[in-house]
Structure 1
Amino acid sequence: MITNGFTYVAVLVFLAAILVGAEKITKWKFFKFIPPVVLLYLLAMLLCTAGAWDMEATSAAYGAMKNNILYAMLVLMLLRCDIRKILKLGPRMLGGFFAASFSIAIGFIATYAIMNSQLGVDAWKSLGALCGSWMGGSGNLVAVSNALGIGEAELAYALVVDSIDYSIWVMFLLWAISFAPKFNKWTKASTTTLDEVCARLEAEEKEADKHITFPGLLFLVGGALLVSALGQNAGAAINGVAPWLDKATWTVLVVTVVALIAAVTPIGKIAGAAELSNVFLYIVIALLASRASLLELTEAPAWIISGFMILAIHGIILLLLAKLFKLDLFTCGVASLANIGGTASAPILAGAYSGALVPVGVLMALMGYVIGTPVGLLVAKIMQMFA
């Protein structure tokens, strides 16, 4: 069992390197169906379940790395983006986001109506808080739990669902990326605008000087880490005077604004941002998966099953809406994770499609913080009728 934090991080990064290298060297068709990023998530979960590292002993390393690298990754990915072009996707992305929100709300209500006798007294309160979290983030969960008077003990089962079911859903959405062409053909979705934006950004990159240099790489790494550090400090300071958004949300806003401003300066033309952002992307995914033990599936089985029922209903309704309104898989996947995963996960999924689309994930996730608390309370009150 690994008890040293540095060894724990080193193993995860090396595992990512092995998987990416295997795809590059072997060119197996297997990787078209299960790409390295999904295998990394799955293997890290399995290693965690097998007790490959001590969760408590390595928690400090995880805490020190995860958010710091995540925000630095956002900086590097956003350096490639022209937000003026990305915002042209607005109406369709907005529709996809609210379609995902609607289907999640229906999923909670329908699941509680079926499972309420198995979940215990006042389970609607905890599920309401979880609904707030799955539409926004942890800040919404706290806000809803405070409004409904939920204690920590009552939230325990909901937190288990949030950990396990969410982890499986992230892995599923990452895996589904490879089916985007078939999905879009089935829904008859037009990805013309999306493709045009990506094509323009890629063409601009090819026209620019893309010779990667040591000074350039060092500046990008140092600059991204510095923005990550200062952004978190700024987020905490702003949260102190403007508590209607949590620290993480303010941090993402600060980092996003700084990176997008830098993107339209000569900094945005420095070669290597795409490669470095992918390195950070794999590190973040490995870290997230390394804390999701499958052993927790033995705890509160009725709650975990309910969580999967919510996700299944959400997925089916979103699938039908995608067919009806001809939505593409990128819109559906990022909209889903913008709700359920928030600012921590939606940009990762968007970046897995294309680094140029990270702002879409960020902006959609930020919308979740606006609706998470009121809709979570509304869904809780509706579920109370079935109690």
Structure 2
Amino acid sequence: MQTSVPLVTNDAVVLGILATILGCVFWTSSRRDGFWNKFYTYVPALLLCYLIPAILNTFGVIDGSHSKLYPVARDFLLPAALVLLCVPIDFRAIIRLGPKAVIMFLTGTAGIMLGAIVSFEAMRIIHPETVAGETWRGMTTITGAWIGGGANQAAMKEVFEVDASLFGQFVAVDVLVANVWTAVLLFLAGRANAFDRWTGADLSAINALKTRIEEYQATHACIPTLADVMIVLAVGLGVTGLSHALTGPVLEWIGSLPKEWRLQDYSLTSAFFWIVVFATTFGLLLSFTKARSLEGAGASTIGSAMLYILVATIGMQMDLSALVERPWLFLLGLIWISVHGGLLLLVTKLIRAPLFFMAVGSQANVGGAASAPVVASAFHPALAPVGVLLAVLGYALGTYCAYITGLVLRTLAA
């Protein structure tokens, strides 16, 4: 439905429109009374951040394909967001959760990777046209989103060169299927006692964790100053600059290697791939230093703000009319998430893990930092940071695991 000449062509005006959209979405979603409370019970804010720019693009108000906003957000804001989302990782806190919490989180990650392969092969039998052609490329973006989050999803879009229309179709599958699964987890949370009796779980660690978190929140609560915010930006954008600087020499070195190694088949000749890898790796290394204290100044919040600007610029490239062409993709998504859920349920029963670990471990993968705290707080409000903690670990793993899964899918599709 995109017209030949969009109504708005000035990128400064387009940026203002996107910023206004994001501001309105977050302002209305923060209201917890009346109409908006009921509205956001059913419509996730993240969906609107994608959907409203996509509607404007579909009906010719803006034209994402000719805008320079997305390349800027992709090359500068995305790496900075990855750094700031990885810096707060506290591996000691994760270890203190006990091995079962980490096992369930990693089981969820394995379930996403396995589910991608199973659903791809299943749809080859049920409806081969669904997974024909370049579909595997789009599946890599969901893998990135369901293990990490929007930053990893966008990274896979670039690394595997996913077409904007195909990406838009998979974003719709991602949001719909992920929110159905979130509803299932919240339903189970209301029946946690019965579930834990069935698995024979020991809840003493959960109860002790509630106490520790409440004490930590009371001790470290603070209001960031301008200096704090500038330091956070210095770390995020500084590491982004370093990542760009290192990428050039690495690509030159790779270009000198024998052509018959076909390194381009593994995206190793992609500049964006190395920028993302460097940003993620440096973010992880910084998490072992005093830089982790930047979370008190809102490091992950600033990183998330950068991420949502990227989300809006991605949305403005989508043509929603393409969704009706691929309805079978939703069945692929349901099979995929069923494999993930089935594997989690099996391991939960085998190791007698509390439902809390299963639900948060799953949502930290599938929903990321945006919704993992929601599921965690369904068990107890003080446990919401646990969801964030595991979700941030997902940001670190998402790029690597999605890349490996993408290579497998490409082999299956060949």
Q: TM-score, normalised by structure 1?
A: 0.73
Alignment correspondent of 1:275: 301
Checking the alignment, whether the CA contact within 8 Å between 1:130 and 1:162 is kept in structure 2 is: yes
Change over 3 Å in CA distance of 1:220–1:133 after alignment to 2: closer
Write the mapping of 1:146-295 to structure 2, written as runs, cut at 5 A. Answer: 159=163, 162-172=166-176, 175=179, 177=182, 180-184=185-189, 188=195, 204=216, 206-208=218-220, 210-241=222-253, 243=263, 245=268, 246-270=270-294, 271-295=297-321
Alignment correspondent of 1:110: 122
Find the aligned partners of 2:313 and 2:207 in 1 and give their Cα distance: 31
**Per-residue deviation, 1:311:** 1.4
Checking the alignment, whether the CA contact within 8 Å between 1:347 and 1:358 is kept in structure 2 is: yes
Q: Give aligned-pair identity as a percent.
A: 16
Alignment correspondent of 1:370: 404
**Per-residue deviation, 1:3:** 0.7
Write the mapping of 1:50-61 to structure 2, written as runs, cut at 5 A. Answer: 50-58=59-67, 60-61=68-69
1:85 aligned onto 2:93: yes
**Per-residue deviation, 1:216:** 1.4
Alignment correspondent of 1:342: none
Please tell me the residue identity of whatever aligns with 2:291. I
Checking the alignment, whether the CA contact within 8 Å between 2:119 and 2:332 is kept in structure 1 is: yes
Alignment correspondent of 1:146: none
Unpaired runs of 5+ residues, structure 1, are: 143-157, 338-345, 382-387
Stretch deviating more after TM superposition (9-18 or 174-183): 174-183
Unpaired runs of 5+ residues, structure 2, are: 1-6, 145-155, 255-262, 349-356, 376-386
Alignment correspondent of 2:73: 65
**Per-residue deviation, 1:224:** 1.2
Please tell me the residue identity of whatever aligns with 2:60. G
Deviations 1:280-311 (Å, cap 9, x if unpaired)? 2322222222222202236xx3xx23433321
Please tell me the residue identity of whatever aligns with 2:304. N
Change over 3 Å in CA distance of 1:290–1:334 after alignment to 2: farther
Find the aligned partners of 1:277 and 1:199 in 2 and give their Cα distance: 28
Please tell me the residue identity of whatever aligns with 1:305. P
Find the aligned partners of 2:241 and 2:226 in 1 and give their Cα distance: 23
Find the aligned partners of 1:311 and 1:235 in 2 and give their Cα distance: 35
Change over 3 Å in CA distance of 1:276–1:202 after alignment to 2: farther
Please tell me the residue identity of whatever aligns with 1:50. F
**Per-residue deviation, 1:97:** 2.1
**Per-residue deviation, 1:140:** 7.8
Alignment correspondent of 2:334: 312
Please tell me the residue identity of whatever aligns with 1:102. L
Alignment correspondent of 1:331: 361
Q: TM-score, normalised by structure 2?
A: 0.69
Change over 3 Å in CA distance of 1:335–1:269 after alignment to 2: closer
Alignment equivalent of 1:34, drawn from 14, 39, 43: 43
Deviations 1:151-173 (Å, cap 9, x if unpaired)? xxxxxxx8477413311133236
Poorly superposed stretches of 4+, deviation over 6 Å: 189-199, 346-353
1:100 aligned onto 2:107: no
**Per-residue deviation, 1:313:** 1.9
Q: CA RMSD of the aligned region, Å?
A: 3.8
What secondary structure sits across from 1:81 in the alignment?
coil
Deviations 1:215-253 (Å, cap 9, x if unpaired)? 111221233122122223324543554555454443333
Alignment correspondent of 2:18: 12
Checking the alignment, whether the CA contact within 8 Å between 1:32 and 1:178 is kept in structure 2 is: no
Please tell me the residue identity of whatever aligns with 1:166. F
